């Protein structure tokens, strides 16, 4: 059988080179034109069929095998974030205000590394390998659904994805069956009262007080109306009102996020928030607008494919662990709604290399050694899925 770790290790310097180049030239979601062209140029040197654009700006590369094995898709994303980078690395972002602060540069380098290793062993392909390079993961509605609508999963039997994760130690693989990541919804609320002088509150309808009452009452939705064994989060990230200390404003505004793992709880939270606002409107003679934007679907790993991820990690001595439930969102969930598959995390946190900063931090960085571990994990998954003929390995 192939020594996938050795093959991945041989590609390590190449993947680091690719990742550092991409890190220097990050592009925001749905604006990844240079990144797109770079990926296509790298793929054009290989024996794969390239289709682009898929959706708005995606790329699908297909390696066709000689046998009748399954077609397995692997996915990487390649967009960056609107963040000014504060690291002091030599390959620091050259695009002001834009940074690869989530590891997508590493994801792309990993999948290109997988592509080059497959190229070297085309004669062993018993099935087909579809590599999905996705744009726009960071901003809803995300690029995955657009690519799905453009048939990126046509003829695909199963799909797998990976995310480098600074919160876990380098070289460890994490996943879990069933729910893994939440649906990241957003909401915007404006309460309209009646402004006036701060010395005469009885002549006003104070939207700030009413907004405060709503924010406090909303906390009881999770703590007192949802089964404690089910998970939900309501967080307010912005509250704005007023312009002076002695003026009661006409309006107050807030926005925040709701995180849930199933649609019933999601609908319950949305309904309860609306009812709270309705009650406040009746009691206080205010009007309001409530915009609730449903985010990505929750990431739900299919149990059989989770077992493949687990077996691949154990076979490669990558120290597999069952991950915790995570309230973050990932639009890889949409692929899993259409095809069976699984998502896993590859630890890239190393305190000696200062790569423990949280994702979306201006100090974020990855331990680049993690890329070879994710690469050999992907390759072992392909072997276990019988895409690669073990008889020739």
Q: Comparing C-alpha atoms, which of 62, 77, 70, 80 is closest to residue 26? A: 80
Helix H or strand E segment including 308: helix 303-315
Q: Does 85 carry a binding-site annotation?
A: no
Q: Does 104 carry a binding-site annotation?
A: yes
Q: Comparing C-alpha atoms, which of 65, 36, 174 is closest to residue 127? A: 65
Q: Tokens 């009262």 correspond to what residue?
A: 193
Q: Which of 137, 206, 377, 383 is catalytic?
A: 137
How many Cα atoms occupy the beta-carbon half-sphere of 51 within 13 Å? 14
Q: Which of 27, 32, 77, 79 is catalytic?
A: 79
Compute the distance between CA of residue 43 and CA of residue 14 in angstroms, rounded to an integer: 14
Omega prior to 252 cis, within 30 of 0: no
Task: Identify whether 79 is a catalytic site residue.
Answer: yes
Q: Does 23 carry a binding-site annotation?
A: no
Q: Comparing C-alpha atoms, which of 309, 312, 293, 289 is closest to residue 301? A: 309
Write out 111-168 in H/E/C secondary structure. HHHHHHHHHHCHHHECCEEEEEEECCCCCCCCCHHHHHHCCCCCCCCEEEEEEEEEEE
- Can you name the residues that pair with 144 across neighbouring β-strands? none
Task: Identify whether 37 is a catalytic site residue.
Answer: no
Active site residues: 79, 137
Binding residues for Mn(2+): 102, 104, 138, 163, 360
Binding residues: 102, 104, 138, 163, 360
């Amino acid at each position: 059988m192939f020594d996938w770790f050795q093959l991945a290790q041989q590609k390590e310097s190449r993947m680091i080179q690719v990742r550092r180049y991409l890190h220097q030239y990050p592009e925001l979601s749905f604006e990844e034109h240079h990144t797109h062209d770079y990926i296509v140029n790298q793929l054009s040197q290989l024996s794969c069929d390239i289709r682009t654009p898929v959706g708005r700006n995606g790329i699908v590369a297909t390696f066709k095998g000689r046998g009748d094995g399954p077609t397995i898709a692997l996915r990487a994303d390649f967009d960056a974030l609107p963040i000014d980078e504060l690291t002091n690395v030599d390959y620091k972002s050259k695009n002001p205000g834009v940074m690869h602060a989530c590891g997508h540069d590493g994801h792309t380098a990993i999948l290109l590394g997988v592509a080059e290793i497959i190229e070297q062993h085309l004669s062993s392909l018993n099935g087909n390998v579809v590599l999905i390079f996705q744009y726009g993961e960071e901003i809803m509605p995300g690029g995955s659904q657009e690519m799905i609508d453009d048939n990126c999963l046509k003829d695909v039997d199963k799909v797998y994805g990976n995310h480098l994760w600074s919160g876990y130690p380098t070289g460890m693989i994490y996943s879990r069956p069933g729910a893994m990541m939440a649906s990241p919804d957003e909401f915007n609320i404006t309460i309209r009262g009646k402004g006036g002088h701060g010395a005469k509150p009885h002549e006003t309808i104070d939207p700030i007080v009413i907004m405060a009452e709503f924010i406090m009452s909303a906390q009881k939705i999770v703590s007192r109306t949802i089964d404690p064994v089910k998970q939900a989060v309501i967080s307010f990230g912005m509250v704005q009102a007023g312009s002076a200390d002695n003026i009661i404003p006409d309006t107050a505004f807030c926005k925040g996020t709701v995180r849930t793992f199933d649609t019933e709880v999601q609908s319950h939270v949305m309904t309860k928030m609306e009812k709270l606002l309705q009650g406040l409107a009746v009691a206080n003679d205010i009007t309001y607008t409530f915009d609730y934007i449903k985010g990505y679907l929750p990431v739900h790993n299919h149990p059989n494919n989770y077992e493949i991820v687990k077996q691949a990690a154990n076979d490669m001595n990558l120290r597999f662990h069952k991950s915790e439930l995570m309230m973050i969102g990932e639009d890889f969930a949409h692929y899993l709604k259409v095809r069976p598959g699984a998502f896993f995390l590859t630890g890239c946190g190393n305190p000696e290399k200062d790569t423990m900063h949280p994702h979306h931090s201006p100090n974020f960085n990855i331990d680049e050694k993690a890329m070879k571990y994710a690469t050999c994990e992907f390759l072992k998954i392909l072997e276990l899925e019988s895409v690669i003929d073990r008889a020739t390995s």
